[in-house]
Structure 1
Amino acid sequence: MAKTIYLRGEGGGIHAMDLPLPEPIQERLTKGMLQRVNEDGTPYAGPQESSAPEQEETPPLVPEPGQQVPGPPLTQPAKAASKADWVGWAVVCGADSEEADGMTKADLIEKYGTPTPGE
């Protein structure tokens, strides 16, 4: 059975989506244009802890090899990462998602990347 997550769209509506997400939706989520939320629209904070021992635990979302984790990256992406990953990182750093999407990957790396020694 597919795992269902909830996303808040650009217009504020809550949409149920089955994983894996379609590529365009995944890209918008990675860029920070969509937000993962709970079914009631409250901010998503990860798997819920259950105090009922009879309920089966839901394993944390672990991606298959090659599958992306829903949401913007939590650490700075590698320079070879996709532009979408860099847009998501810029949004995590406080940039406007549409403004970041309009920048080139090189500009995003220059503005939001941590310089490596020797640069």
Structure 2
Amino acid sequence: MAETIYVRGEGGGIHPMDLPLPEPIQERLTKGMLQRVNEDGTPYIEAAPKESEGSGPVFTTPLTEPAKTANKPDWVGWAVVQGADPEEADGMTKADLIEKYGTPSTT
């Protein structure tokens, strides 16, 4: 039986979605264009996985800065967490996102 999560869409509606999410939905969730919420619409706080569960896919925007080698959706999500507009961040290049929202290198 598939696990069901709740996602707030761009229009504000809350939609139940079975896991695994379709790739385009997962990408928009990673970018911060959609938000995972509880069934009643309150913010979802992801619990740390139990040791026996292993590490599955992440269904929320990143809480820590992605590696410089991470893909663009991870950087878009990070920029959104930092206060960027999701659509504006998605329109930037990965290099621009790293320059504007990444920790400066000390090399």
TM-score (norm 1): 0.80
Equivalent residue for 1:115? 104
Q: Secondary structure at the match of 1:84?
A: helix
Residue pair 1:62, 1:69 contacting (<8 A) in 2 also: no
Q: SS of the residue aligned with 2:69?
A: coil
Counterpart in 1 of 2:59? Answer: 70
RMSD between aligned residues: 1.9
Structure 1, unpaired ranges of 5+: 48-58
* Counterpart-to-counterpart distance in 1, 2:54 and 2:17: 17
Q: Against the structure 1 CA distance between its residues 106 and 100, is the aligned structure 2 distance closer, same or farther, given a 3 Å change threshold?
A: same
- 1:55 is matched with which residue? none
Q: Secondary structure at the match of 1:26?
A: helix
Q: Does 1:16 align with 2:5?
A: no
My pick for the range that moved more, 85-94 or 37-46, is 37-46
Residues matched between the structures, number: 105
Helix, strand or coil: the match of 1:99? helix
Matches within 5 A, 1:19-38: 19-38=19-38
Which 4+ stretches in 1 moved above 2 angstroms? 59-64
Q: What is the rounded CA distance, in whole Å, between the counterparts of 1:28 and 1:79 in structure 2?
A: 20
Percent of paired sites with the same residue: 76
Cα distance in 2 for residues equivalent to 1:35 and 1:86: 16
Larger Rg: 1
- Where do residues 37-76 of structure 1 align in structure 2 (5 Å cutoff)? 37-46=37-46, 63-64=55-56, 68-76=57-65
Query: Residue 42 of structure 2 aligns to a residue in which SS?
Result: coil
CA distance in 1: counterparts of 2:76 and 2:92, whole angstroms: 8
C-alpha contact (below 8 Å) 1:73/1:85 kept by paired residues: yes
Deviation at 1:18, TM superposition (A): 1.1
